[in-house]
Structures are given as C-alpha cells and as structure tokens.
Amino acid sequence: MSDMESKSISSGFVIRIEKGEELIGAIKLFCKERSIQAAKLSGIGAAKNLSLSFFSEKDKTYIEKKFNKNYEIISLSGNISKFNNEIIVHAHIAISDENYNVIGGHLNEAYISVTFEGFLEVFDIQLNRKKHPELNLNLLELTDGS
Ligand SMILES: [Zn+2]
C-alpha cells in the first residue's frame, strides 16, 4: 500500500511524497492502486541520489548519470501511460544545487530528501505506448485523433 498522502480534486489528485521514498516508484504504485492509466504529472520539492538519463539520438540509447547530492526539484513534468499493461511514469526533471546551478534530464530514480508536492491530472482515456523500431523508444500511440 502506498503511504503517499493525497487529496482528491475534480481533475485528479494533489499528492505529497514523504522523505526517503523513491519518487517514480511511489507514483507508479499510487497509480496502480487507483487504476490511473493516463495522467499529467507535475511537481516541486527536494531530492537526493538521483539517476538521470540523456537519450543519445545517434546511438539510440540512454546515457545514465547519477547525482548524489541534495537538490531542489525546480520542476518535474511528465505523464502516466501504459506499455504492455505496465504503468509507465515518464518524467523529466530540473534540479538545482547549493550554488543555484540547474541541471536536468530524463528521470529514472530520485529519493525524496525533504518533500515532494505534486499534481496528477487524471485523464479518462487509455494512453498506450508502442515500440518505435528506428528510435528504439516506446512512444505514445495517439492514433484515433478524437
Ligand atoms: Zn524521457
């Protein structure tokens, strides 16, 4: 059971993630428990021990880098979708250090060091991903146009 605190709003949830919890895993579990299949995710807070990636368009692969200090989460933005029946939390993050330098990337993992205050705007649709063979990425599949 997720121990994430939340408050229901007309468009979804206001969420708060506790210190020590891993952000991507906590949101994934929250969505699983509430059968959320499609959503917009945003938030701010503070985290440490982050794993970010940069997608090399040339090599068609993610290059991972770890950031182990404590950072402010300046902005997290992403979406919730499904790939092969699994909930996918796709998020990008901008973080700043004690010198106010901002870095960012595709978020793999982040441990909340103080708090995370976020919004999940839930959509009443199926949002699926499909493997793009040339890019080697699972892209959103938006085919019906409705
Ligand atoms: Zn990404």
Q: What is the mean pLDDT of residues 5-22?
A: 96
Say which residue, 3 or 61, is predicted with more confidence.
61
Cα(9) to centroid of ligand 1, in Å? 27
pLDDT tens for residues 76-108?
999 999 999 999 999 999 999 999 999 999 999
pLDDT for the residue numbered 92: 98
Cα(7) to centroid of ligand 1, in Å? 27
Q: What is the mean pLDDT of residues 50-75?
A: 96
Cα(55) to centroid of ligand 1, in Å? 8
pLDDT for the residue numbered 107: 98
Q: What is the mean pLDDT of residues 58-83?
A: 97
pLDDT for the residue numbered 3: 76
- Reply yes or no on whether the pLDDT at 144 is more than 90: no
With left for phi above 0 and alpha for psi between -120 and 50, is residue 32 left, alpha or beta?
alpha
Domain ranges of the chain: 5-141
- The yes or no reply on domain 5-141 and CATH 3.90.740.10 is no
Cα(92) to centroid of ligand 1, in Å? 6
Cα(98) to centroid of ligand 1, in Å? 25
Per-residue confidence at 146, pLDDT binned at 50, 70, 90? low
DSSP the chain: ----EEEEETTEEEEEE-TT-BHHHHHHHHHHHTT--SEEEEEEEEEEEEEEEEEETTTTEEEEEEEEEEEEEEEEEEEEEEETTEEEEEEEEEEE-TT--EEEEEEEEEEEEEEEEEEEEE-SS--EEEEETTTTEEEEE--S--
